[in-house]
Amino acid sequence: MDNIVGNGQAGIQLVDSLRTEGYTGRITVIGEEAHFPYQRPPLSKDYMSDAKTPLPLPLRAERFFAGNDVDSRLGVRVTAVDRARRTATLDDGSRLVYSKLVLATGAANRELSVPGSGLAGIHGLRTLSDAEAVHARLAVARSVVVIGAGFIGLEFAAAARQRGLDVTVLEFADRPMGRALSPAMSGYFAGAHERMGVQLRFGEGIASFEGRDGHVCSAVSTAGHSYPADLVLVGIGVIPRTERPRQPGCRWTTGSSWMAPCAPRTRTSSPLGTAPATPAAMPPPAPGWSQCRTPRIRPAIWPGPSWEAARATPSCPGSGPSRAR
């Protein structure tokens, strides 16, 4: 039996790839959220519309799991892994035996630690539960401040503006999405948002939040300006979820890289472990790649987990040669 820790994009793509490549063994997928796997990108866009009952977009229909003999364990977490006995213990007390353990734990939002960051009304946006809370708040909010002009921040800013809210985006850098886009493309998206009425404040990070009766009421930037806010969305990037995989005794690298891969790109240092998820670090595409400043790079983009899941498939016993490209 293969156990996959994490039922996000990488974990579910790996299930799909394994079955496509002919793997017939039983597969157990473990996910800490109680929901069936869903797509995250729409959470910052369509899900934030003024529809009263928005619905998540599933990664696969529920029949996919039954039809592919997949045991979905929802709402549980792995608390310990015994490599010698090849067992994974869950927080509900159950213990699973595995022949291969796949670590597809993904990433978590970076959190703010500035004064006032614990006030009500300040949200991150990664999970369906996050999206439900933010969507509910949008119905009563008037002024929104977004921290970070990355993809998540700008998508949410546009959605909030379309609902008629006043929206201000604080970005410490001098342009939006600077790590992913050229200056010309950054300028295009900045102009598009400004034409919508979004107030973009470049060169201003967040210094603190002010509150009233325990709820946020304004955001103070590093330039000393105060912006009214009864809803704050924090979108300052993600960090790898390595806290669970550390327990098996595998070696990991963090910092400017995500998880260290193996054999040669996506396996952990354990012969029984694989890490194909979004946080997997990997060698650069080619020697001397001009943009690579470290021996490992991290593909923090939506297709990344699918690519790495496909690469990890041949290392699982019983699967044929991968046809993925």
Tens-binned pLDDT, residue by residue, of the chain (325 aa): 566 778 888 889 889 989 998 988 889 999 999 988 999 999 999 999 887 778 889 999 989 999 999 999 999 999 988 888 999 999 999 999 998 888 888 889 999 999 999 999 999 999 999 999 999 999 999 999 999 999 999 999 999 999 999 999 999 999 999 988 999 999 999 999 999 999 999 999 999 999 999 999 999 999 999 999 999 999 999 888 776 544 545 544 433 223 333 333 444 444 444 444 444 455 555 454 444 444 455 555 555 555 555 555 555 555 443 333 2
Please provide the size of the chain in residues.
325
Q: Which pLDDT value is given to residue 45?
A: 92
CATH class assigned to 2-50+59-108+239-315: alpha beta
- Nearest CA to 112 out of 246, 216, 15, 264 is that of 216
Q: Which pLDDT value is given to residue 316?
A: 54
Q: Which pLDDT value is given to residue 133?
A: 96
* 106, 13 Cβ separation under 8 angstroms: no
Q: Which pLDDT value is given to residue 304?
A: 52
End-to-end CA distance of the chain: 26
Q: Which pLDDT value is given to residue 107?
A: 86
**CATH 3.50.50.60 domain range(s) in the chain:** 2-50+59-108+239-315, 111-236
Assigned architecture for domain 111-236: 3-Layer(bba) Sandwich (3.50)
Q: Which pLDDT value is given to residue 256?
A: 28
Rg (CA), the chain: 21
Q: Which pLDDT value is given to residue 247?
A: 52
CA 151 to chain centre: 12
The whole-model pTM stands at 0.80
